[in-house]
Structure 1
């Protein structure tokens, strides 16, 4: 009672006191039902009945959107997505990952934005994947974000097909600041990168364009001062590609992997000047390949630092070819004398011509076994 009396005095007057008290009491009555509570009960049933969610899935999805109360928008959104060519499985995937999707306004938000994506060729399963993996772009402005981003990507690539592929693979590009992307491309041009190289870079690492300009400036400094690669070097662009999206911690971990196999820092720098793509490999991948080439084959840091051996897949290229060589050796069949590294570097056609086709009669099972190992 003390709370009501004190609060009533602050509200100036007994009549106001009674109004506040009863309002306070009723709002907390176990018999009252709010719109939010009604929506909470509605959505799990709707998700289960219309989209085929399990009980656990529907409760989990509904718990993420308790602030929305409409019981009509979900049906409007689902009907619209069906008209856009998405089937129930695709819609369920979108809603499961982003339940808020059910509460967007179809006419004001969904339709104009998804129409933009359809204009660059995104539809059906591609469109469903973009929504499921990056639907947050729907929260951004049509004219202030989505249209400028698409226009910029069209300008860079020169065609809708590459824009479609980029957005499909990296949906977060749709919510990236267009100004940041423009600033980064301008910076690449300032560094002397051709438009073709910039297009190549963006098609492979578009997400790097989301970083602030300072990020790239720091890595340019790293390439020039730490790795000794001048801007005019042909390897500068590839060095930038290799480390542009790598954090300093990631770089330090990769240095540590090489050092654990006895590499000096000078070996690592020499390697980076010749093979910067090594730094695009994960630490686990580096560890596995260094273990094979150094501990099993016997290559030294001096040999590996200037050659591309680590760029090849162990499972799909190196080990299947070693298997062929060992099989031929066991059969005491004469083969042309090439070093292992050269054999690894041969094109598939040349490897088959030298080491498979001449022995199809002598070792008939070898060709098929090799193909199964490389997954062809």
Structure 2
């Protein structure tokens, strides 16, 4: 019976007529003979043996299903989930978190929801992922209307699913009272649709929090020197979202002391690269020691090029520094490049400018640089001397 239902559902989902929920209802009805209530139906055993729950999970979930007298509806739901492509582990996790999912009506609720989501452009794999992320929200047909709003807001199912993973409350929040006013306010602050999609994919709580809280976050972003409408405003909101004014001030003070910046310099750095506020203290300290003490950069220079503080120390800054240092020491560069150019250029650009042109003069440079980028060599590594006395 389960296999037959699964095959029927799979056929429907892969058919161009998947929007017809009534067709699925007729198929399931035709495939399912009447089942007499079974007064001895053991819910806890069913959850363990059929759904894959652990014994403690089943014991916790079974009281919510005590009204079930037969496995008929749970069997239909499991068949439905299998037809969507959920794994045994996915099903077990879903049932453990929302046991009442097994009570949902396939023909009246779940199948129409799938048909509606398919109509919005979600693929079968997207819908399967959505089942796991949305949990009980998938048991309500209102999920279709909510996703009808969220899909164009996030711009793609990938962004939407990322946001739901971080904040499943998106599907239970009040669209008209909370979400839409927050989106409208972000638009007023100068963020375009693409900016809002990127911001809220990473910080989806901005959509579901109280509008007054959003206004406070905007005010704190302006207080650190990033005005509305600026190119860095979205990044500033992401960096300080849900941090208090005191926490933000403490982060700014730590940057000042670590990089020896004045008030003006830290203001410049934060306005150009708000993400410096998100770095761990130890990470910032190590970058300061490297850039100031080893490379010899002035604090004022770093403040003007704060993006370098955000790059990987072992995977980018050190390998590039050692490569350029080697080239300079061996007279292979006509002039000293700026470290802004060295550190901020793309990997492709760096290799084309500093590695590839020196293959003959420094045959081991590329090999050593590749190894350094992978962290396979100590930080005090010096590149093998080139041939011909260089």
Q: What TM-score, normalized by structure 1, do the two folds share?
A: 0.72
- Of residues 183, 186, 208, the one that matches 1:185 is 183
Aligned to 2:377: none
Aligned to 1:169: 162
Comparing 261-270 and 337-346, the one that deviates more: 261-270
Residue correspondence of structure 1 range 24-43 to structure 2 within 5 A: 38-43=42-47
Aligned to 2:215: 217
Structure 1 190/340 Cα, relative in aligned 2: closer, same or farther at 3 Å?
A: closer
Residues 315, 372 of structure 2: 8 Å contact kept:
yes
Count residues in correspondence.
324
CA distance in 2, matches of 1:352, 1:373: 14
Residues 39, 66 of structure 1: 8 Å contact kept:
yes
CA distance in 1, matches of 2:124, 2:281: 37
Aligned to 2:109: 109
CA distance in 2, matches of 1:286, 1:99: 46
Residue correspondence of structure 1 range 347-366 to structure 2 within 5 A: 347-366=346-365
1:151 pairs with 2:126: no
Structure 1 304/153 Cα, relative in aligned 2: closer, same or farther at 3 Å?
A: same
CA distance in 2, matches of 1:40, 1:170: 34
In the TM superposition, residue 284 of structure 1 has moved relative to its aligned partner by 5.1
Aligned to 1:142: 141
List alignment gaps of at least 5 residues for structure 1: 1-34, 48-52
Residues 202, 209 of structure 1: 8 Å contact kept:
yes
Aligned to 1:335: 333
Structure 1 268/99 Cα, relative in aligned 2: closer, same or farther at 3 Å?
A: farther
How big is each residue's C-alpha offset from its partner over 1:46-85, in whole Å with a ceiling of 9 and x where there is no partner? 23xxxxx4xxx52133133122133513322221112223
Give the alignment's Cα RMSD to 1 decimal: 3.4
Aligned to 1:270: 268
Residue correspondence of structure 1 range 241-252 to structure 2 within 5 A: 241-248=238-245, 250-252=247-249
Aligned to 1:255: 252
In the TM superposition, residue 356 of structure 1 has moved relative to its aligned partner by 0.9
> Per the alignment, in what secondary structure is the counterpart of residue 61 of structure 2?
coil
Q: Considering fraction of residues, name the structure with more helix.
A: 1
- Of residues 33, 47, 57, the one that matches 1:61 is 57
Residues 317, 343 of structure 2: 8 Å contact kept:
yes
In the TM superposition, residue 169 of structure 1 has moved relative to its aligned partner by 1.0
> Per the alignment, in what secondary structure is the counterpart of residue 66 of structure 1?
helix
Structure 1 104/291 Cα, relative in aligned 2: closer, same or farther at 3 Å?
A: farther
Aligned to 2:303: 305
Q: What TM-score, normalized by structure 2, do the two folds share?
A: 0.69
CA distance in 2, matches of 1:149, 1:373: 49
- Of residues 217, 223, 227, the one that matches 2:224 is 227
Residues 252, 277 of structure 2: 8 Å contact kept:
no
CA distance in 1, matches of 2:337, 2:126: 46
CA distance in 1, matches of 2:371, 2:116: 43
> Per the alignment, in what secondary structure is the counterpart of residue 176 of structure 1?
coil
Residues 227, 272 of structure 1: 8 Å contact kept:
yes
